């Protein structure tokens, strides 16, 4: 059974700092890994999707890396801003190729606060 | 409307009530999902529909009954719920069953009294 762990559970940083969020998963047989952002009381916004064959993906100030063999992914946020404050969720897609459709296993998230 | 929409956004119901949650996607996707997000727990997959056929039921109690009449609409029918069913219920959709990126709706905040 796939398990996803995110560290730290919460992080508070001053504006402008570069930061790293960590995600680890127990079963390295994955199709892809997705990072999401969730604002309080709202749905999820997809940030980055990394296929299992890729090592990293970049979007603006965000960079996500994937080391499938070690079961780890990191989300790097450059020059953080107060608007980045949210919960960041990591989700791993494990698919048995016919029995499980698009099943994502989520971590519990990292609550990020960027203060001015 | 664009993306994935959910109604109602907030719902308070008694344990003997029957209500339904609605999800609609305007992205041309062919797979839809229900998730439950409880306080201090990871998101849990409940149901998956691919091409309107239920392809996964993740050990969800029968008091939750999904319905997918077409590829754009998904319902979650609720009856005789328990207080521990209070949670944020999220709908998502994707193109394709395995590799498609999932897009989420804003969720319905359900409170069972």
pLDDT, one tens digit per residue, over A24-63 is: 999 988 888 999 999 987 889 999 999 889 999 999 999 9
Residues 6+ apart with CB under 8 A from A26: A1, A2, A3, A4, A71
Nearest partner of B94 among B46, B37, B27, judged by Cα = B27
Which chain A residues are within 8 Å of B90, Cβ to Cβ? 43-44
Residue A103 has pLDDT above 80, yes or no: no
Answer for the pair A72, A24: CB distance below 8 angstroms, yes or no. Answer: yes
B1, pLDDT greater than 60: no
The verdict on A104 touching B (C-beta cutoff 8 Å) is yes
Whether chain A has a CB inside 8 Å of the CB on B88: the answer is yes
Closest to B113 in 3D by CA, of B89, B90, B93, B84: B84
- The mean pLDDT value of chain B amounts to 89
The tens digit of pLDDT for each residue in A74-98 reads: 999 999 999 999 999 999 987 655 5
Residue A109: list chain B partners with CB under 8 A: 42
Structure confidence at residue A101 (pLDDT): 60
Record: contact A31-B99, CB cut-off 8 A: yes
Chain A residue nearest residue B5, CA to CA: A43
pLDDT at B67 over 70: yes
Sign of the C-alpha dihedral, residues B49, B54, B55, B58?
positive
> Lowest-pLDDT range, A4-8, B60-64, B100-104?
B100-104
What pLDDT is attached to residue B52? Answer: 76
CB atoms within 10 A of CB A24: 18
B102 touches chain A (CB under 8 A): yes
Mean predicted confidence (pLDDT) in B38-55: 84
Are the beta carbons of B21 and B82 closer than 8 angstroms?
A: no
- The listed range with the strongest mean pLDDT (B21-30, B44-53, B57-66) is B21-30
| Mean pLDDT, range B94-107, rounded to an integer | 81
Under an 8 A CB cutoff, do B104 and A49 touch? Answer: no
Interface test with B, best of A44, A64, A106 (most B CBs within 10 A): A44
Q: Is there a contact between A65 and A76 (Cβ–Cβ < 8 Å)? A: yes
Chain B: give the shortest CA distance to residue A112, in Å: 15
The rounded Cα A45 to chain-centroid distance in angstroms is: 11
CA B100, CA A61: separation in Å to the nearest integer? 24
Of A95-104, B28-37, B103-112, the least confident: A95-104
- Which candidate in A7, A101, A104, A111 is best for mutational testing of the B interface (most B CBs within 10 A)? A101
Backbone φ and ψ of A79, nearest 5°: 45, 60
């Amino acid at each position: 059974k796939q398990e996803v762990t995110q560290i730290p559970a919460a992080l508070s940083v001053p504006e402008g700092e570069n930061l790293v969020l960590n995600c680890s998963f127990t079963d390295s047989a994955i199709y892809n890994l997705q990072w999401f952002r969730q604002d309080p009381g709202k749905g999820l916004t997809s940030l980055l999707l990394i296929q299992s064959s890729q090592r990293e993906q970049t979007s603006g100030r965000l960079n996500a890396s994937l080391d499938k063999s070690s079961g780890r992914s990191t989300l790097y946020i450059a020059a953080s801003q107060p608007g980045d404050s949210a919960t960041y969720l990591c989700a791993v897609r494990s698919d048995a190729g016919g029995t499980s459709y698009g099943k994502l296993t989520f971590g519990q998230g990292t609550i990020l606060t960027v203060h001015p | 409307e664009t993306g994935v929409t959910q109604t109602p956004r907030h719902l308070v119901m008694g344990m003997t009530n029957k209500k339904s949650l609605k999800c609609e996607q305007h992205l041309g996707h062919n797979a839809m999902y229900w998730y439950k997000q409880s306080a201090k727990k990871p998101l849990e997959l409940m149901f998956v529909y691919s091409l309107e056929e239920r392809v996964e039921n993740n050990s969800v109690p029968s008091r939750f009954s999904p319905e997918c009449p077409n590829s754009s609409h998904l319902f979650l029918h609720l009856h005789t719920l328990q207080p521990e069913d209070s949670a944020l219920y999220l709908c998502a959709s994707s193109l394709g069953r395995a590799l498609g990126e999932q897009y989420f709706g804003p969720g319905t905040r359900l409170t069972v009294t």
